[in-house]
Amino acid sequence: MIVSVTPGGSASASFGYRGIGTVGGVALAWMVTRFGFEIAWAWTPASYAAAVGTAVALSVVAGLAASTRALAVRPLTVLRHGE
């Protein structure tokens, strides 16, 4: 969960999108296994937690890989030269 505070003093938590995605994924898995494959469905929270953790880790790795060039340059150099 990420909590951000605006200059006006109000705080907001931004963990809702992961929760919506997880609940949607669980609902879709239930519908596919129950009605598509016509088999019993079992709730396994550990596998869903692992899936969410893996998705977060992959997002962090992709974000860092995409911004390595920007992170390699010192901010003062960019501000002085405008590159």
pLDDT in tens, 37-50: 999 988 888 888 88
Residues 1 and 30 in one domain: yes
Residues 67 and 50 in one domain: yes
Q: Which domain holds residue 52?
A: 44-83
Instruction: State whether residue 78 is helix, strand or coil.
Output: helix
What is the number of structural domains in the chain?
2
pLDDT in tens, 1-44: 444 445 555 544 455 566 677 788 888 989 999 999 999 988 88
Residues 51 and 61 in one domain: yes
Distances (CA, A) of 42 to 2, 34, 47: 31, 10, 11
Residues 38 and 70 in one domain: no
The conformation of residue 74, written as its DSSP 8-state character, comes to: -
Residues 37 and 69 in one domain: no
Q: At what angle do helices 16-31 and 45-66 cross, to 10 degrees?
A: 130
Residues 2 and 37 in one domain: yes
Please tell me whether the overall predicted TM-score, pTM, comes out greater than 0.85 for this model. Answer: no
